[in-house]
Amino acid sequence: MTSILEYPVFTFDQRELLSAGTTLSPEIMTELIMKNKGMKESCSLFTYASIKKDLLHFIDEHPYTIIFSDQKSKNIVLKNMEKVILPLPLLEAIYHFHHTDFYTYRHFLLVCALSTLLAEQLISDPKKISKEVIAGPTHDIGKLCVPLNILNKKSPLTVAEQAALKHHTLAGYILLSYYFKDARHFTSIVARDHHERKDGSGYPRGIKIDNPMVDIIMVSDIYDALISQRPYRLESFQNRTALEEIIWQANSGKIGIEAVQVLIAVNRINKPHYSECVLSDERRGSAPANNVYGITDAE
């Protein structure tokens, strides 16, 4: 399915890569990639600025203290993340959010850590695990192309603002295709598809997605979004309620069941094998008060 950009896509240094109205055909993507001539400087994720220190602080907060209570698993995740090498412009873009939208910056790193942990239990191929790890911190990089006043808005978004926010999926796909010089690079696919759903109810293309590797990022993304404070919801979901919501989505056929089972397993103190975790439909919690997510301002 071919997509058409509603908004332009630009780099961290404000160079426009593609204009609004562009059809993302294979030919256009090839032309885009060819614009990136020469080798771009790369750097380790963990040696850039304060990223490693910040991540260690983030996973030392509840409920991540439970998830990473197993020191062996924690060490494996950190070892995998230490191997992540990214083009310098992407690292600059990631750290840009440290100053402008700290939630998004924190989200980048925690989704990376959590998806790495889930991948370790679901994927046996080390090369595929490496793909998961590198996709974690870049899955939302397209938010670079979303105005900060929309990212940080506390009241309901208008229809136009919701469209601008959803643009981050295609923007991320384009940015990562450009910097990795490959429109089929796993990071590009994840950035584009992590808001799609197995039943076709997601965006940007509304397709039925069946990719277990994307499921891992998808589940990690939803979980961290629920348990974290957001501009539109200053009170986060309680951990139990967040897990109940994710289980409901899995049982409704929206997201992958196995990835959710692993998420449940790592949230338990005894760390059972994920196959032992039954996804019950029982819901005892409720969403936080004053949550305006999904509510549209009628303008």
pLDDT in tens, 48-85: 999 999 999 999 999 999 999 999 989 999 999 999 99
Task: Report whether pLDDT(114) > 60.
Answer: yes
Q: For position 282, what pLDDT does the model report?
A: 81
- What is the C-alpha separation between 163 and 160, in angstroms, rounded? 5
Q: For position 176, what pLDDT does the model report?
A: 98
Task: Report whether pLDDT(299) > 90.
Answer: no
Q: For position 175, what pLDDT does the model report?
A: 98
pLDDT in tens, 23-39: 999 999 999 999 998 76
Residue 296 bridge partners (DSSP): 157
Domain 42-292 has CATH 1.10.3210.10: yes
Give the containing element (helix H, strand E) for 239. Answer: helix 239-251
- What is the C-alpha separation between 223 and 246, in angstroms, rounded? 7
Q: For position 156, what pLDDT does the model report?
A: 86
Q: For position 252, what pLDDT does the model report?
A: 95
pLDDT band at 293 (very low <50, low <70, confident <90, very high): low
Give the pLDDT mean for 124-139.
94
Model confidence, pTM? 0.94
Q: Is the dihedral of CA 238, 122, 91, 44 positive or negative?
A: positive
Short-list 105, 106, 136, 291, CA closest to 213: 136
Cα three-residue angle 236-242-244, rounded to 5 degrees: 150
- Strand 296-297 with 157-158, pairing: parallel
Are 33 and 193 in contact by the 8 Å Cβ rule? The answer is no
Question: What is the average pLDDT score of the chain?
Answer: 93
pLDDT in tens, 224-236: 999 998 887 777 8
pLDDT in tens, 153-209: 988 889 999 999 999 999 999 999 999 999 999 999 999 999 999 999 999 999 999
* Region of poorest pLDDT, from 12-16, 95-99, 263-267, 291-295: 291-295
- What is the C-alpha separation between 128 and 135, in angstroms, rounded? 11
Q: For position 220, what pLDDT does the model report?
A: 97
pLDDT in tens, 166-181: 999 999 999 999 999 9
- What is the C-alpha separation between 12 and 165, in angstroms, rounded? 17
Task: Report whether pLDDT(296) > 70.
Answer: no
Distance (Å) of CA 146 to CA 25, 28, 107, 152, 153: 23, 22, 16, 10, 12
Are 114 and 139 in contact by the 8 Å Cβ rule? The answer is no
- For 87, phi then psi, to 5°, come to -55, 140
Q: For position 20, what pLDDT does the model report?
A: 97
Proportion of the chain above pLDDT 70, given as a percent: 95
Q: For position 131, what pLDDT does the model report?
A: 92
